[in-house]
Amino acid sequence: MAERRKYLKIITASFSLILLFAFLMGWFLKTPDGRKYPDREPVYFWHMWTSGWKKVVEGICDDFNRSQDEYEVIPLSIPANVADSKFLLATAGGDPPDCMAQWNQVIPQFAESRLILPLDEFMSPREYQFFLDHAFPIAQKIAYFEGRHYCMPLALDVRACYYRLDHLREEGLLPDSAPAQISNRAEYQEMLKYMPRSMEQLVTWGWQLHRFDEKGRLARLGFIPQWFRMIAPLFGGGFYNWENGELTLNTPENLRALEYITEKNKVIGFDRLLRFRSSLTGKHGADWPFAVGKRSITIDGQWRVSQLEKYAPDLPYMTAPLPPPREGGKEEAGWVHGNFMIVPVGSKNPQGAWAFIKFWTGFDDPEHAAVHYTKAGWLPPLPQIAQSGVFTRYVENHPQFETFINLLDSPNMEPTPPVPFQLLLYDMIKRADESATRGNMTPRQALENLEEGVNNELRRRKKAVQDEK
């Protein structure tokens, strides 16, 4: 009995310390440092951007604060590796920020746990209807969980193909009449005519562009299909049926996609690819393998356009959507993620948070919002920004960006399915991909294992709900 009392005292003390820590952490993280507008209502805003991106975000906050006289947004950068835990502690302690920018796949989990407010609880009916009527399809999908929308996408991340035009020209893959460099929209439109029309043609180009050293090691990667989550929608598959709200994992379309990826990776060799990747020195900026000539065709996001302008302004390159297979595929399909804003339950100033979100995403003034989007090279959630004069001029000066703008409006772009274990599902899909491409499982076994793992998780969650009752 004495041991039990001792154990209970330890548990009670530990729980008290956790609550105290949550309170102090919330107080510490939200304590303003020299407010500029102390007479206004504060809007505490957490985000995870650092370095140059932090300056961009703080610039948006300053611009909002100058634009009106009712609210003051007070930004705070939280280290990405602890941001979720700090958010949960602050929310549990009853003192969360008023809004938080996120890029982790947490919306369904936070929504199910009632940690965040749905949009229709702080937007007016007219504003919410505007979102439903006008936001890009993928923006609405990212925000969705069980019939409601729980976040406002700030910027969307779309992937497409980047082509080194100098490499293509060396291999005779472009006619002499093709533009040598893409400097305007007319040249971009002209070059689109010469880009691969099918996945099969793209892979054939990739093989022509591979380079090997005297020992047979891969020195330059032309192109091979990778990222099961990207390729599956192109093959007519995907992982979620938006009409009936059911997961679609072990399907003939997904199997066909994974078999195709595995087959093409097997020919070049997993060990050879692993050695090649380990030889690459960087992933960003001037060291990006595509920029230094280690890759001829690669899949990447729209942010590379501004990076190439900064670090390799003379590099001749083209962007285009990933093409589908010749039969049974979908045009302009793929996987999308992005940055989004959440408003937690317990926010002291949800209306101030919404005023800031509206300003950022251009609900009231898309022309002004476009200034920030073009500075950062972001893709907007609303077509009104993409159609603004500021954004149109940006795309005219960065014609390769048009690929990503056009993909935003495609109904075939998919996020990770909106299930409460979204991040776990994302990891399970990646593991199925790796198991098949490494040869640890056949594609069929990998999909069966994926489906079994998901079903086990669904059963576990169902049992936990029953046990609570």
pLDDT digits (tens, 9 = 90+) for 82-136: 999 999 999 989 999 999 999 999 999 999 999 999 999 999 999 999 999 999 9
Does residue 10 carry a pLDDT above 90?
no
- Residues near 91 by beta carbon (within 8 Å), at least 6 away in sequence: 115, 344, 345, 346
Segment 13-40 mean pLDDT: 55
| Distances in whole angstroms, Cα of residue 424 to Cα of each of 250, 415, 419 | 17, 14, 10
Contact 366, 340 (CB under 8 A): no
Q: Which residues of the chain form CATH 3.40.190.10?
A: 37-157+336-414, 158-334+418-462
* Average pLDDT over all residues of the chain: 91
Give the residue carrying structure tokens 């209807």: 129
% of residues, the chain, pLDDT over 90? 84
Does residue 1 carry a pLDDT above 60?
no
Give the whole-angstrom CA distance, residue 87 versus residue 50. Answer: 18
- Residue 144: which pLDDT band, with cuts at 50, 70 and 90? very high
- Residue 16: which pLDDT band, with cuts at 50, 70 and 90? very low
Q: Which two tokens stand for residue 464?
A: 């936990």
The one-letter code for the residue type at 20 is L
% of residues, the chain, pLDDT over 70? 93
Q: Which two tokens stand for residue 188?
A: 């971009």
Among 1-10, 25-34, 222-231, 279-288, the range of highest mean pLDDT = 222-231
pLDDT digits (tens, 9 = 90+) for 65-82: 999 999 999 999 999 999
The one-letter code for the residue type at 120 is D
Does residue 284 carry a pLDDT above 90?
no
CATH 1.10.260.40 fits domain 158-334+418-462: no
Give the whole-angstrom CA distance, residue 73 versus residue 230. Answer: 37
Segment 265-294 mean pLDDT: 88
- Residues near 376 by beta carbon (within 8 Å), at least 6 away in sequence: 53, 56, 155, 306
Does residue 8 carry a pLDDT above 60?
no
* pLDDT value of position 33: 54
Segment 189-199 mean pLDDT: 97
SS3 145: strand
pTM of the model: 0.89
SS3 371: helix
CATH number given to 37-157+336-414: 3.40.190.10
Q: Which of 343, 324, 340 is nearest to 332 (CA)?
A: 324
pLDDT digits (tens, 9 = 90+) for 424-454: 999 999 999 999 999 999 999 999 999 999 9
Helices vs. strands in the chain: H and E counts, helices first: 20, 14
pLDDT digits (tens, 9 = 90+) for 109-118: 999 999 999 9
- Residue 34: which pLDDT band, with cuts at 50, 70 and 90? low
- Residues near 61 by beta carbon (within 8 Å), at least 6 away in sequence: 45, 73, 74, 75, 356
Beta bridge partners of 299: 161
The one-letter code for the residue type at 337 is H
Q: Which of 22, 305, 382, 318 is nearest to 182 (CA)?
A: 318
* pLDDT value of position 3: 41
Does residue 46 carry a pLDDT above 90?
yes
Strands in 175-227 per DSSP E = 211-212, 218-220
